Amino acid sequence: MKIRIVAIVLFLSSILIGAKAVNIDTCHITVYDTIRVVVYDTMRVSMQSALRRDAASIVTILESTSADTITRQMGHTIRYVNWWAKMIPRMTTVQFAGNMGFASLGLGWKYGRRDQMESSVLVGIVPKHDSNRAKLTMTFKQNVVPFHLEPHEKVHFVPITLGGYVNMVFGDEFWTNQPDRYPSGYYWFSTRFRFNLCVGQRIEFNIYDSRIENFHRNVGVFYEFSINDLYMIEAIKNQRHLKLKDYLTLSLGITLQLF
């Protein structure tokens, strides 16, 4: 037993003295009573900093004889992690008006090579007014940001945003298909769903500061003009009698981007 203890002590001492660092690609260290250093490829890791536990009884260095196998395994892992990371919402949106309720709150995702695509899901509320109760809405929104300008490193200006969204209102008084109580074809459209097109502008301010903990990286304000499918049809049919204010809706909003 004493011989084994001496051998382990000598082994640990030789590592600490002789091997100051190892060059690896990615290093994952799990520190328990047993320390495992799993070796992948190019990062400089100090063995002294890795072996922080005096009570460690075994040091196992797992090495692979096939760099190609490691590369494939790392590739699968990275793709899997990246896929899940993209599912994390990157922005929060608060929007007022816009054919989706008095106020709507939602989460969104940015993607694309230059983050030019934005998808959002918002939940809104329509006040009671002269109806029996307030109503809840849900909106699925898709925006395209063709380009943006940077007049200052802390300011981004988006000259134009293009998009569309589908709004759904909850309630027994709204339907997807016309109820049987009405003559066939009396209502050719759904009262539950509205399809909208929108165009607008946005300005964003970078509020990130490395000296403090910022939950959001930037904040933006925007406005949009939107039109739904029914208003669009009426605008085309009654071009001489309707003005822009009769079928265009103005909405204002705030976006908070996480990263």
Residue with tokens 């909405």: 251
Number of other CB atoms surrounding residue 30 within 10 Å: 9
Enter the pTM of the model: 0.66
CB 74 within 8 A of CB 25: yes
**Which residues does 155 contact at the CB level (< 8 Å), separation at least 6?**
203, 204, 205, 206
- 241 has pLDDT over 60: yes
What integer is the mean pLDDT of 145-169? 92
Q: Which residue has the higher pLDDT, 65 or 196?
A: 196
Residue type, 253: G
Average pLDDT for residues 29-46, to the nearest whole number? 40
- Judge contact between 128 and 134, C-beta under 8 A: yes
Average pLDDT, the chain: 75
CA gap 43, 175 in Å, rounded? 60
How far apart (Å, rounded) are the C-alpha atoms in residues 198 and 187? 25
pLDDT > 80? residue 50: no
pLDDT value at residue 71: 65
217-224 average pLDDT score: 93
- Interatomic CA distance for residues 221 and 239, integer angstroms: 32
pLDDT tens per residue, range 75-114: 777 777 777 877 889 899 999 999 898 999 999 999 888 8
Q: What average pLDDT score do residues 55-66 get?
A: 40
Q: Which of 188, 217, 185, 219 is nearest to 204 (CA)?
A: 219
Q: Are the beta carbons of 41 and 24 closer than 8 angstroms?
A: yes
Q: Percent of the chain scored above 90 by pLDDT? A: 32
pLDDT 10s digits, 169-218? 998 888 787 777 777 777 778 888 999 999 999 999 988 776 666 667 88
Position 161 confidence tier, pLDDT thresholds 50, 70, 90: very high
Q: How far apart are CA 43 and CA 35, in angstroms?
A: 18
Q: State the pLDDT at residue 91.
A: 92
Greater model confidence, 101 or 47: 101
Q: What percent of the chain has pLDDT over 70?
A: 69
Question: CA 242 from chain center: how many Å?
Answer: 40
Pairing of strands 193-206, 21-24: unpaired
